[in-house]
Structure 1
């Protein structure tokens, strides 16, 4: 949903893709712009829930988008948010990408990886 909102992939260093994936599993999420519509932020955060059972299904997301299309208040909120975000994106696109990379690098530097623990995963017999 972040990529849909921002029209670009989440910036990360492809050389450390495994570390990036591990950090996402540990709660790393992309920056949300201040002017993003609250309804969109709430839905996006639900999609980011660490517990897959608590994330909305694609049908639930579709139904939510459909409901939004018939709700004038939400349409206005989304429209106003989009205008503000376009101004921010046009001004700060380069700054944002370097800032996201900087935050990511800082985040992974502060976290000790124990890649060997990946091999300790035990899958119970069915």
Structure 2
């Protein structure tokens, strides 16, 4: 069934090397094949695109496109204890059948590198969520 997809599919990882639950897609009566669209070559392009982002609006647009085209949901959650560095953010992808473990690791790493390079994106994220009050001018 999956051999007749209208687009190239990601090559399966070796048995036991991944937790993508691809077999759930094989068993589903109407599988959502969007996560399998992200081949290794497309993953490299996506990572390069993520690392080239310079604004919070671009990050939101790209996250929306990833959700629309691949069914991937990007989550960037500030720590409840505050954000002093990029490591104060939890960056993850919502787990779903067909989404390779390597992708679930590589995309958040690329987002973290982007945010580390462009801290103004982090400020915009925190400001949007009401968690950033700007620099302390009293000191």
Q: Normalization by structure 1: what TM-score?
A: 0.23
| Larger strand percent | 2
Higher RCO (CA 8 Å, separation ≥ 6 residues): 1
| Larger helix percent | 1
Q: Normalization by structure 2: what TM-score?
A: 0.22
